[in-house]
Each structure stands twice: as C-alpha cells, then as structure tokens.
Chains A and B, each alone.
Chain A
Amino acid sequence: MNLFTILDMACQAFPQRTALTFEGVSYSYAQLHRASLVAARLFGNSQCQAVALQDISSPAIPIALFGAAAAGLTYVPLNYRLSAHELSELRDRIEPAYFIETENRDAFVRACLDGEVPPSPSEIPINPDAVAVKLFTSGTTGKPKAALLRHAHLLSYILGSVEFAGAGEEQAQLVAVPPYHIAGISAFLSSIYAGRRIVLLPNFDPEQWLYLAHSESITNAFVVPTMLVRIVDHLEEHPEFDVPARLASMAYGGGKMPEAVIRRAMTLFPATDFTNAYGLTETSSTICLLDPEDHRSALLSDDAEVRRRLTSVGRPLPGIELQIRDLEGNPLLTGEAGEVYVKGDQVSGEYEEKTVISGDGWFPTRDAGYVDNGGYLFLSGRADDVIVRGGENISPGEVEDVLLKHPAVSDACVVGMQSEDWGEEVAAVVVIKPWLKVSVDQLQMYVQQRLRSSRVPKQILFHEELPYNETGKLLRRVVREAFRK
C-alpha cells in the first residue's frame, strides 16, 4: 500500500490528460508520473530519511510527494512563514532530509521532468504502516508537534471518499491552500485520483482567485473561511466583477465559518454547491461533511433545527464513527455537549512524540461540540478553550455568536481570564466596525439580555483586529495574553 499507487493508476487510465496547471503551463499525468520516478531515484541516492519542502505551491509539490512515496521516504512540508529560528529547529528534527526550497525549486522540477527514467525502477515499497507524511501542527499552543500520517491512513481516506476517475476532463480544481496544511496534501491526492485538473494559486488574493476561476474555467474549489470572507467582500465591493460561471462546487473548512459569511456566499453564488468539510491533520483531512443539499435545506426550511444546521459541520463520512464524551471519557447522549471522539481507518491520532489514540482506536480531537437529532455535529471550539467559571462550563463560541450579532461588532474572541472568586471569568476582545460606536456597558447588556448572566464578559477590550494565523485559525493564546496581569 503506497500513495504512489494514486498517481500510477491515474497515469495508466488517462496519461495524456492535464494533471496540473501552474502559471499558465500544464503538466500531464504521464509527465508527473515520470518526474516522480526520477525524483524517487534522486531521493534514494541522497541517503536521506525524509523529503522536506519549504516553499509555496508549485509543480514541485506533487513530484516531491509522490517521489518520496515511491522512494519509501517521508514527505515533510514546512511552513515557510515561520521565523528563521523556528524553521531551523524543525529542520534539525528531520535531518537527514532532502530539502526543496524556493531557491532550488525550479532546478529540481526541471531535473525531474527532463531526467532519464530509471530503466527498471526499483520496487515501490508496499508497507502500509510506513510514514508517508509528517506534518508539524500549527502550534497555536507550545512547540509544534509532528503528526504522522501513514500510507494506510491517507489511502483509506482517498479510497473511502473519492471515486477513481470520477471527474470529467473539463473539471478543474483551484487549490489555494498552502502545501504545509493537510488540505494542501489531500487536494493533490483527491484531485489526481478523481482525474480532476489542479490549478495552483500560490499566494491567495481574492482578485487573483477570481481571475483564475474565470480564466481557467474552474469547476471546483476549496477555501478556508478567511479566504471566503475576502472573496465575498471583494465581489460585494466590486459589482463589476462577474461571479465565476462554471464554479459548480465550493468546499470550505479549516476553521469556523461565520454564519453571515456562508449566507452571503450562497446568495452571491446561487449556482454553486457548497460543502462544509470538517477534519484535522491527525484524521487525514475530512471526517464530517455538510453537503450541498443540507446547505439548501438549512437556507429554505421553516424548521428551526434544520435552519440551524448551516452552522453545523455535518455528518460523519461513511468510514468514520463519532462519539461525544464527557471529561471522564463516558459517551454522552444526543444534544449533550462534550469532546468529539472519532474512529476509523483514516484516523492516525499519532505524533512522533506520543500516540493519543486509545487501544480500541478512538481519537480525542480536543474539539468540543454536540450532535443534534439528525446526527449533525455542531462545534463550539477547542475543548481546551472551554471557560470553567465557578464549576460551570462556558463555551467561548456561545458568547462570541451573540457578540457577533451586535450590529456594531465585526469580530469577537472570548477567552477565560484568571479570577480569584470564580477560578475563571469570561473576557472578550471585540473589533468594532470603523464607522460605528458601542460601549462596554452596552455590549455587556446585550449579552445579558440573551444569555445567562454567568456568560456576560467581565472585561471587554476593543482592538483593531484579532490575531489569526495564515490559515485563518484564531490565536486565542495571544488574546489570552491581553488579560494576563
């Protein structure tokens, strides 16, 4: 079992079809296949243990990913936005590694595309338990952990969720997520297995995204919430821009999607199917889906429970079992809030440092949430973010949702702050729309009228913006610092 099988099969079924377009240049499945075999020999000869890529998106990604798999080495994409110090620490942890960086990327791609294919390519290793991909988690708290994804995990995800050759030749996927994100890996595996052309946008920008969506006749796209916000803002500010006509399907994930944004997006893209994909690095990408039909029902239904599902992350994939458990690990009932646990062949739950998966295969996601009567999962934040005020659990998301409904508030983050009386108290940092005014008292009153008094933020600070990382993850750790005395 080896990830290389994905490219091998695509190359066999449609060798001359375009696999990838980057900066106007297209590459066929046969070209990528050949280049990956050349890369595998290069990696094999280097005596390295891993193949590291520290760069933006380019054709080097599939060549390095599949080349590493064919050579039996681990592929490690590094976040090029980290500081030099952080990067050098990560690089020390994966040595000896074959490094592909911005400076040598073009030479690497050229060498692989033009190189001689080994006359008898060495045997592709088949050990399903070999580590295919090592991803350093974004580390919103503490030192980055190295999540391990084995060939069996990633292949199980692809085989369970993508139909081989299921895409027509006209289909094209716009990939704007960075290569060091799990979605930046699954995008290549899924699209190649489906036979869907990949179009790369290395540095996301709403205008560029819309330009490529038009010029490359994009049919499918995946975005993180911040990208969708910027696309929607751009289209609303520039009515002269046409909405991409061929965009049949847009998936989003990687963070909490504000309800107002998905509503605006569905109005702006009436002909596009929206899918919410919830997944984690440790689960080889998507584990729950809110499908297009769910989106439409939620928008049109008179039933409050169905309408609410627009803020749900949907139901588990066929190969995933899901449970909500309390702090002691006991399963909870429908509607009860606790921590999300998942189990399935695609779930790794394993880091270089430790395994957090239980003996019977259950993985604690550290996400908090509940499941409704229809089996739809609602997330309320990270389990670690729950505020415990005098023994009462308060989910920051619950208070944030209310603050965000206030007409003057454009963004809000709720965290716990130390309190002598209560252990923890609710605190909030709020971003106000530039042309509007609101006082701390007014906001406290607003929350008081809608939630229990224990939920009212004791302290509210006004900031110009909230700290997000580049994939749109809110850095609560940084917000917490503002309340530390």
Chain B
Amino acid sequence: MINIKPGAKLFSVACETEVMVIRGTGEFDLCCGGSGMATSTPEARHESATDMDGGTLIGKRYVNEDGSIELLCTKPGRGSLMVGNSVLGIKQAQALPSSD
C-alpha cells in the first residue's frame, strides 16, 4: 500500500516508469510491473513480472474504472500500472484544436 495525493511523484521499482498523481488521495495498492511503487527513486530495480509488462507511454494519463485515480506518465517504462487487481487504462482525451 502506498499513500498518495495530487502532485506526488511515484516510481516503479521494476522498470523506468515514473508517474505524477493527478487525482487520488489516500492509501492505494498501486503497482507497476508487478511490484508496489515507491515514493522516491529506487536504489535498485528488479525485473518486471512477465505478465505485467504492457509498458507505459510518456504523456498518457492512466485511470482506474471509476476515475478516482489518475496518473500522468512522466517517464516511460516496460511495466504495466495496476491498482489492486485491475490494470489502469489510458484516458482517451478529446482532440481539441490548438487555442493558444
């Protein structure tokens, strides 16, 4: 379990993935590549579990089903993001014309 709040940075211990919490406050069972995530850069990394290696993409937002957790991938890696037993999906953003 890990205690998160908006703005916090989380690190995978199984791959290079780094995320920033956009939404979500409290204790969650957040994993990447099959291992619990850390709140600081891990000193050593171990292998990503083979069935948890869907990978993360920089700039994509990952959400759980009810939208209570939203993570922005700020550094990509080989692991998949999960909360409890469910894999987080990519939030589909509506394409907007550039307005600035």
Contacts and interface: CB of A to CB of B under 8 A. Distances in A.
A163 interface: yes
A159 B59 CA distance: 9
Contact of B93 (A128, A163, A277, A285): A163
A249 B96 CA distance: 12
Nearest to B21: A1
B74 A194 contact: no
Contacts of B97: 249, 251, 273, 275, 289, 291-292
A275 B98 CA distance: 8
Contacts of B83: none
Interface in B64-100: 72, 74-75, 93-100
Contacts of A291: 96-97
Interface string A147-172: 00001100000011111110000000
Task: Give the interface residue-count category, chain A.
Answer: 35 or more
Interface in A158-209: 159-165, 173, 183, 186-187, 189-191, 193-194, 196
Given A13-B59, A152-B6, A159-B22, A191 B100 contact: yes
Instruction: Choose among B7, B9, B93, B99 the residue with the greatest number of A CB atoms under 10 Å from its CB.
Output: B99
Contacts of A126: 7-9, 20
A163 B95 CA distance: 8
Contacts, number: 86
Given A251-B99, A285-B100, A9 B59 contact: yes
Interface string B6-50: 111100000000001110000000000000000000000000000
Given A13-B58, A163-B59, A164-B59, A128 B7 contact: yes
B59 A253 contact: no
Instruction: Choose among B7, B60, B74, B100 the residue with the greatest number of A CB atoms under 10 Å from its CB.
Output: B100
A8 interface: yes
- Classify the interface of chain B: helix, strand, loop or mixed: loop
Nearest to A2: B7
Contacts of B99: 161, 190, 222, 251, 253, 275, 277, 285-286, 289
Contacts of B20: 1, 5, 126
A378 to B, nearest CB: 18
Contacts of B22: 1, 159
> Which 8 residue pairs are nearest across A and B when measured between Cβ atoms?
A164-B59, A1-B7, A277-B99, A128-B7, A190-B100, A186-B100, A126-B7, A275-B97
19 contacts: A1-B20, A1-B21, A5-B20, A13-B58, A13-B59, A126-B7, A126-B8, A152-B6, A162-B96, A163-B95, A173-B100, A183-B100, A191-B100, A222-B99, A251-B99, A285-B99, A289-B96, A292-B97, A317-B96
Interface of A: 1-2, 5, 8-9, 12-13, 126-128, 151-152, 159-165, 173, 183, 186-187, 189-191, 193-194, 196, 220, 222, 249, 251, 253, 273, 275, 277, 285-286, 289, 291-292, 317-318
